[in-house]
Amino acid sequence: MMDLGATLCTRNKPLCEICPVAASCQARQQGLTRQLPQAKPRKALPIKQTYWLLLQDADDRILLEKRPPTGIWGGLWSLPEFDDMAAAGNWCRQQGRTEQTPQVLPTRRHTFSHYHLDYTPLLARLENPRNNVMEADRTVWYKAADFALLGLPTPVKRLLQQHYPEDYYDENG
């Protein structure tokens, strides 16, 4: 049966004329050789929701954090990530003087093989960041023009390119 599927009964061009089981083939009798077999319905992927903070300082630099060495995007630079908006707002206020609530940007989706990641960017500005010194190991404040110097996950890179189209420079596109 597997040989039949691999040689004669292919999905796009079944060779019914020379098929040894043509006489008893239900697909042929019912004129369904073009429709069968149907593609397996795709399994719905689970959805994970997260919030990414686009935090700018007074010099229009953006805060990036290094991700843990293991797990998705291990070791790459990314935006601070939170489970909900309240946590992002609280964390933001701990970093310095800021508006009460970050501005919510439209949610976007990145799809992995096993799940969809829905991420909602939150835009906030810090007037007097407590941590305004570049920390090369875990946290950096970077100008959009310098993002190309860092390894960024694709959706983070895309978000930053869309949000700072004038400033973002990346010779690799």
Enumerate binding residues for ligand SF4 (CB under 6 A): 8-9, 14-16, 19, 21-22, 25, 27-28, 33
DSSP character for 47? E
Q: What is the largest CA-CA distance in the chain?
A: 81
Closer residue to ligand SF4, CB minimum distance, 31 or 165: 31
- Residue 32 Cβ vs ligand SF4, minimum distance, rounded to whole Å: 8
- Residue 40 Cβ vs ligand SF4, minimum distance, rounded to whole Å: 18
Which runs of consecutive H residues, i.e. helices, occur in 56-138? 85-95
- Residue 39 Cβ vs ligand SF4, minimum distance, rounded to whole Å: 16
Closer residue to ligand SF4, CB minimum distance, 29 or 131: 29
Closer residue to ligand SF4, CB minimum distance, 8 or 85: 8
Q: What's the start-to-end Cα distance of the chain, in Å?
A: 48
Tokens of 76: 């790459």
Cα separations (Å) of 119 from 22, 110, 166? 52, 8, 23
